[in-house]
């Protein structure tokens, strides 16, 4: 479709150039011949023949340059093309004039052939340069588009790969929890299995939706939290704060869950008391702000629990690929509270 559109635009441009050459050449030569004392009928016939020949030469040369474009270092080829077409146009005009102009004027008009050849050369060379510049510019635009499309494909492939890695990351943890519950509490293990099944089905439905609403993301997050509550029991408390006015805000699918998983990991593993994970969603200056806070044991910094560390790095990478910015996720520790903040730009 794009190629057809481009060819249509180029055909119209060639047509405009050829018609402009015809009208301009006809008017200019006619006026010059009248001022030189030639008969008006003779001047019109001569001008009409030359203009028609020049128009067809311009069209033929422009069409040929669609299939071959000399490089900038081959400017001499443009001059040769202009010289050849000028010779052809001048000779063809002279041949046709012999049939429409009285013989006693032919000798007089032959004296003007060198001047006609020079004018034809300048006009045809200019038309050739216009076509070549157009073709080079069009090739550059097409190269940029192809590069952008290639980069978009690579970006989509990397985003897809990140999302595919996130699912096993969570799935392995959940399966380990189910295995741990089978012996101690089979009913809870079965309940957690059903919840995990619902969560994974929801994940599959979102597979083709890179960007979703906050409401959809929070609904899906609640399935994850239900699984984790089975795993940790009364030790895990969560609170989600969000107003309905921002439920329609957009954000990348499954962008909050890895942060909450990270909060649970660092908030509960080394603490035996009850822990509250807070998730707060607000809107400010065209951005959706998401804050996840959890208690943090400072001593854990000196002896951290082993893990892949994939969650936070994947979020940072996804945000960069989607929005081209590295400042959309922040983490800080203050008074034994670990806070993760996401800033999701909202575009109209």
Over residues 244-254, mean pLDDT: 89
- Name residue, tokens 């030469």: 57
Question: Residue 314's pLDDT is what?
Answer: 76
DSSP 217-272: HHHHHHHHHHHHHHHHGGGEEEEEE--GGGTT-EEETTSSHHHHHHHHHHHHTT--
pLDDT at 252 over 80: yes
CATH of domain 207-300+307-345: 3.30.565.10
User: pLDDT tens digits, residue range 137-165?
Assistant: 877 887 788 777 767 666 666 655 555 55
CA-based radius of gyration for the chain: 38
- CA of residue 201 relative to chain centroid, distance: 31
- Domain extent listing, the chain: 1-159, 207-300+307-345
Tokens of 114: 């060198």
Residue with tokens 């293990």: 189
Is residue 52 scored above 60 in pLDDT?
Answer: yes
Helix or strand holding residue 186 (H, E): helix 186-205
* Residue 293, pLDDT score: 92
CA distances from 181 to 65, 186, 192, 305, 307 (A): 75, 6, 9, 22, 22
Token look-up 């102009």 returns 101
Judged against a pLDDT cut of 90, whether residue 45 lies above it is answered with no
CB contact at 8 A, 268 and 235: yes
Query: Average pLDDT, whole number, for the chain?
Result: 77
**What does pTM read for this prediction?**
0.54
């Amino acid at each position: 479709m794009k190629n057809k559109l481009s060819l249509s635009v180029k055909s119209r441009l060639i047509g405009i150039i050829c018609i402009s050459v015809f009208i301009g050449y006809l008017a200019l030569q006619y006026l010059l011949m009248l001022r030189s004392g030639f008969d008006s009928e003779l001047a019109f016939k001569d001008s009409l023949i030359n203009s028609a020949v020049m128009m067809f030469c311009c069209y033929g040369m422009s069409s040929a340059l669609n299939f071959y474009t000399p490089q900038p270092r081959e400017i001499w080829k443009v001059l040769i093309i202009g010289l050849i077409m000028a010779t052809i146009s001048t000779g063809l005009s002279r041949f046709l004039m012999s049939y429409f102009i009285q013989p006693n004027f032919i000798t007089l008009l032959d004296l003007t052939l060198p001047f006609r050849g020079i004018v034809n050369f300048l006009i045809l060379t200019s038309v050739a340069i216009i076509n070549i510049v157009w073709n080079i510019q069009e090739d550059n635009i097409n190269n940029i588009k192809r590069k952008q499309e290639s980069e978009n494909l690579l970006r989509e492939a990397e985003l897809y790969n990140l999302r595919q890695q996130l699912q096993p990351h969570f799935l392995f943890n959940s399966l380990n929890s189910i295995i741990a519950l089978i012996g101690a509490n089979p009913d809870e293990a079965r309940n957690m299995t059903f919840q995990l099944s619902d969560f994974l089905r929801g994940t599959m439905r979102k597979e083709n939706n890179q960007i979703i609403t906050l409401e959809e993301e929070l609904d899906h997050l609640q399935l994850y939290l239900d699984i984790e509550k089975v795993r940790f029991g009364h030790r895990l408390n969560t609170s989600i704060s969000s107003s309905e006015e921002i439920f329609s805000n957009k954000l990348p699918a499954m962008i909050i869950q890895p942060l909450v998983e990270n909060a649970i990991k660092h908030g509960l593993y080394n603490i035996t008391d009850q822990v509250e994970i807070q998730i707060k969603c607000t809107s400010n200056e065209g951005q959706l702000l998401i804050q996840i806070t959890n208690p943090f044991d400072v001593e854990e910094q000196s002896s951290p629990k082993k893990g892949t560390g994939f969650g936070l790095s994947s979020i940072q990478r996804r945000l960069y690929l989607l929005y081209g910015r590295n400042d959309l996720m922040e983490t800080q520790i203050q008074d034994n509270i670990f806070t993760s903040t996401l800033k999701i730009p909202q575009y109209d």
